[in-house]
Amino acid sequence: MQRLIQGIHRFQEEDFLPLQGLFEQLAKGQHPETLFITCSDSRIDPNLLTRSKPGDLFILRNAGNIVPPHGVANGGEAATIEFAVAALGVKDIIICGHSHCGAIQGLLQPEMVASLPALSSWLSHAERARRIVRDNYGHLDGDRLVTATVEENVLVQLENLRTLPAVASRLLRGDLHLHGWVYKIETGEVFAYDLASGQFVPLAEYKYPATEEAVRRRTAGAI
């Protein structure tokens, strides 16, 4: 705690003053263009990763960067996303998984979280990812298996995201775009899901997605 308190003092003395004008503007309201959904893992800092400033990102974090589909859970995730999409009018939503994810390891090895009933129940919203990997990635193990599951989970959560009414409405209008990212902690690399290739590619090779109608034509409703 002492380190955190010292950090606050340094923030007030060294960081706040140069940005005081920005914070004064932010006190009047926020206008982020991006909703960033990621894991609660302490090794991920969305603002550091994207070099964004206060007010740029509306951030939602939970174990496993999970978005429960519409109607199955009455939690903060749906409320946060609805506010970002319908009230703040964000233009982009990013779901960002990461390497070495403890939640994903628990998904693959339920015995690891058997003593954590709330977490075990929460991970049921990623069960489709586990089954996809079980049925299609039997040749993988270790870190490669975790990586494949992290990627599949991002795609599953994007599908869940599309079921939320506020998101579905904006997608139909064509003024909201969804993105699936995976952050590799040990290298700082970010990979994005590319619709054309059906693969996660380095972010430098990523093409901004087409409108939702074009996506539907190309994927027949599947991300």
> Which are the catalytic amino acids?
39, 41, 43, 98, 101
Q: How many other C-beta atoms can be found within 10 angstroms of the C-beta atom of residue 84?
A: 22
Query: What is the phi/psi pair of residue 89, to 5°?
Result: 70, 35
Query: Would you say 49 and 59 are in contact if contact means Cβ atoms under 8 Å apart?
Result: no
Query: Would you say 22 and 30 are in contact if contact means Cβ atoms under 8 Å apart?
Result: no
Give the whole-angstrom CA distance, residue 76 versus residue 97: 19
With residue 201 as reference, give the H or E element that holds it: strand 199-202
Amino acid 81 reads: I
Q: Which of 78, 80, 59, 58 is nearest to 68 (CA)?
A: 78
